[in-house]
Amino acid sequence: MPPSTSLTYSDEPFSIRKRRYFFRNILDIDGDGLVRWKDLELLLLRVEELARKDEFIRSKMALIGLWHNVTDDEISETEWLALWNETKEDKDEDSMVDHLFTLLDPSGDGLIDESEYVHVLTFFGKSKQEALTCFDNIGRTPLGEPIFAIDSKRFLSLWKEFFYSDDPSSYGSYLFGLIDDFSK
Ligand SMILES: [Ca+2]
Ligand SMILES: [Ca+2]
């Protein structure tokens, strides 16, 4: 059997595996193994193309503040995983998720629709097809009925499922792409 780095992860709880995935595929945009403010700026630049200006700047400033609460410098993957053990679910997290939602909803109608979602996910190197598959899963009520767009309340519950649930079949697992694609 060939050695595989994925074996290292298979024994981990699914929630921790997703946190690693998020670090590698979403946060560390330039792929140097560390998350710096520079990485997040790259994302903001991308979203800025579409965003409504006032709300975008407000959310950007709030995220800069939250970033400096966490670190003055950079975050390694190990530090990132440890961070989750320290903070658990708290107000800072809810507030950050709220600002992220604003950034992902450039039209400002309070809903993330399929095209807004696909636009952002493809920025992280995901194919349009993968993004559409994921939206097909996250674009649902908790009971599984399809919805055409996601409001901030639903987004927060998908976020919590992504970071805290160990159930691979939960809709939130699809929030940032297909987790099996753990290549990066
Ligand atoms: Ca980086
Ligand atoms: Ca929208």
Q: Whole-angstrom Cα distance, residue 35 to residue 115? A: 27
Residue 41's CB is within 10 A of a number of other CB atoms, namely: 14
Residue 184 belongs to some domain of the structure: no
Please identify every residue whose CB atom is under 5 Å from ligand 1, which is an ion: 28, 30, 32, 34, 39
Residue 131 belongs to some domain of the structure: yes
Number of domains in the chain: 1
CATH number for position 109: 1.10.238.10
Q: Which domain holds residue 126?
A: 12-174
SS3 category, 97:
helix
Q: Whole-angstrom Cα distance, residue 180 to residue 178? A: 6
- Residue 37 CA, ligand 1 centroid: distance in Å: 8
Residue 183 belongs to some domain of the structure: no
* pLDDT per position as a tens digit, 22-53: 999 989 988 999 999 888 888 778 777 767 77
Q: Which residues pair with 149 in a beta bridge?
A: 113
pLDDT in tens, the chain (184 residues): 444 444 455 678 999 999 999 999 989 988 999 999 888 888 778 777 767 778 888 888 888 888 888 777 899 999 999 988 876 557 778 888 988 898 888 888 999 999 999 988 988 889 999 999 999 999 999 999 999 999 999 999 999 999 999 998 999 999 999 987 544 4
Residue 25 belongs to some domain of the structure: yes
Residue 183, CB-side half-sphere exposure with 13 Å CA sphere: 6
